[in-house]
Amino acid sequence: MLRRRVVPYTLFMPIMKAVELQGEIDDQHRLHADVPQSVPAGSVRVIVLISEEDEGGPAWAPGVSSEWSAELNDAAQDIYTLNDGQPIDAPR
């Protein structure tokens, strides 16, 4: 019976320095990014993080806040107090 040994991925990979960059992907699916002068020329590993937010994206929270401000400031909406419920870390 063949036994497999699970080895952390990092044992096989050299230690790497991470640099966060902002970039764009064009219509030809090419990545464009400005790289600081301190990064030497050569091969790099690239991880692309794609936002899953919709078109509202970062404007959503301020939009809700402004639309609901009258309701959120209405004292009739304050139906709970700090004495209601239990803290999350309370013993059960």
For residue 32, the model assigns a pLDDT of 94
Beta strand pairing call for 23-25 and 31-33: antiparallel
Q: Take residue 40 and report the two structure tokens written for it.
A: 């030497």
What backbone torsions phi and psi does residue 25 show, to the nearest 5 degrees?
-110, 125
Tell me which of 79 and 41 has the higher pLDDT: 41
For residue 37, the model assigns a pLDDT of 92
Q: Where are the alpha helices (DSSP H) in the chain?
A: 60-67, 69-72
Residue type, position 3, single letter: R
Is 63 strand, coil or helix? helix
The label of the residue with tokens 């929270």 reads 61
Highest mean predicted confidence (pLDDT) among 12-16, 24-28, 77-81: 24-28
